[in-house]
Structure 1
């Protein structure tokens, strides 16, 4: 199929009516990603708690983060619905498949985002709401439009993408310390191998949609491999800092080294073979690595 020809939107697969519409709106929130965002924010909250955990504040923070993540996801799909319709892996999303209109998605996304901000400020603290607003603006209005303009969008999008532990920490402590920024840095650099692996696997899809991520715009993959290895090493190096800062203990240090070794092994395999299968292994390793790292850090802190 010529690259200029978009995929036809598939016919509706959901039953019409309330249940089908509800499922479509639920899909707009990207539930799996929202769950991961809330999970990392929860780890940030527990790690940032100076004494006993305030479970009521924890509940309010996680509700607000969930609303915010769902709103950002809906706004992102609203902005990218034309590109989504051109890619095999996204053509069945609610807007390109015709389950909701772009205006409905826009209204839904704005409602969730505003609700999240209105909820976080009085129930948690203003700093958490401010960081949430920065995340929304950075992801939706800066990162998303740049995806079709420059391959540097991955680096730019990694800033709002690394906010969950920072938001969680701010929700618990009401301030941001060096330890909080270390968590931010770990998640910031982790995103490069993660998203480069996705872009490597679906580079034809991204090329068709005009999204110029690094694996899409270069033919030999050399810079992609180099940056994947470099950011992978930096991520693992940064993962040792929580131990040296006293945020976690020896059990975490040993676990971080083991997890980091497995993560880097997948990156090295991609560098050696440069296959889609190797990229898929990097993606799987990255999906396991980050939550396990934060979980181990949190358990060893308690």
Structure 2
């Protein structure tokens, strides 16, 4: 009697779909878009700090470690905000409020990533200060900023601290110490986040209020007057802070002129938002903030970093 051929076991279509869904859920927990933006500033901080002798291996190790810490912090943010997410329309389908993952699973995932990321930086990067900066970033984001979102509108200012630390992680990986140049990078990222997140909070003010988040547009006058004022004030401060690399000798005239033009252009968008205060002008501020940040980072690379590497 001939032997019966045995077909290789393969996943059925429903099983493959479940695998893809699980992968997508784990990926969503890490907030990849935010993580990628942060890692770009880590890389800029490293290249500026290492110029003119960057070590690509050290950079890659730094990005891996910082990326793991960022991913872990984002997962823990999902865990902490699962109840608020279940009340907001834009977050209803996240893995936890959507019922596709259990809180313990998300908590374990986040803690594991964060710890592995810090340990990886300690082992793979020559300067331990990079791991310390990454650990501080994760701790402030998860344990301080996230809970404050339900307590006070000042959470945006506090949250800007961990949001501004990624380039410092890169700088520390390159040099091991913090200098005035690193402080300039931190200051630019810190102030930039304020008008950036005020615009996001204004666009999602109804949802944030539904979830119990004490964002500025949710706790002030219904017409958003103080959000407009805060946006203009912080954009004006950003215009000034954006020039500090030149005055500290970190950048030259190209950066000064370019940064000033970008700062004035962005300030004009916030002034328009303060006058009209609607979703269209708020979205203009949001998009303008992204253009400003990309422009300033590019100017730093062109005006500061490239001459050191090419000269």
Q: TM-score range by the shorter chain?
A: over 0.9
Aligned to 2:59: 58
The alpha-carbon deviation at position 146 of structure 1 amounts to 1.0
Structure 1 match to 2:295: 292
Comparing 50-59 with 194-203, greater Cα deviation is found at 50-59
Superposed CA RMSD: 1.4
Aligned residues: 289
Unaligned runs of 5+ in 1: 1-13
- Per the alignment, residue 11 of structure 1 pairs with none
Shift >4 Å, 4+ stretches: none
Cα shift at 1:122: 1.6
Q: Which aligned pairs between 1:128-167 and structure 2 lie closer than 5 A?
A: 128-167=130-169
Aligned to 1:101: 102
Equivalent residues of 1:120, 1:128 under 8 A apart = yes
Distance 2:51 2:262 in 1: 27
Aligned to 2:128: 126
Residue 150 of structure 1 aligns to a residue whose secondary structure is: coil
Could you tell me which residue of structure 2 aligns to residue 5 of structure 1? Answer: none
For residue 44 of structure 1, what is the aligned residue in structure 2? 45
Distance 1:162 1:32 in 2: 16
Q: Residue 151 of structure 1: SS of its match in structure 2?
A: coil
Cα drift, residue 104 of structure 1: 1.2
Rg: which structure is higher? Answer: 2
The separation in 1 between residues aligned to 2:194 and 2:64, in whole angstroms, is 28
Task: Please give the alpha-carbon distance, in whole angstroms, between the structure 2 residues aligned to 1:232 and 1:65.
Answer: 28
What does 1:1-302 correspond to in 2, within 5 Å?
Answer: 16-124=17-125, 125-219=127-221, 220-301=223-304, 302=306
Q: Deviations over 1:32-60 (max 9, x none)?
A: 00000000111111111143111111110
**What secondary structure sits across from 2:143 in the alignment?**
helix
Residue deviations 1:142-184, cap 9 Å, x none? Answer: 1111111111111111111111111111111110001101111
Deviations 1:2-26 (A, max 9, x none): xxxxxxxxxxxx9742221111101
Alpha-carbon distance in 1 for matches of 2:124, 2:233: 40
Structure 1 residues 223 and 21: alpha-carbon distance in aligned structure 2, compared to 1, 3 A threshold? same
The TM-score with structure 1 as length reference comes to: 0.92
Whether contact under 8 Å (1:43, 1:295) holds in the other structure is no
How far did residue 256 of structure 1 move? 0.9
Contact 1:47 1:247 in 2 (8 A): no
With over 3 angstroms needed to count, the CA separation of the structure-2 counterparts of 1:15 and 1:147, relative to structure 1, is farther
Deviations 1:174-213 (A, max 9, x none): 1000110111111111111011101111111011111011
Distance 2:121 2:219 in 1: 40
Shift of 1:260: 1.2
In 2, Cα distance between equivalents of 1:45 and 1:121:
16
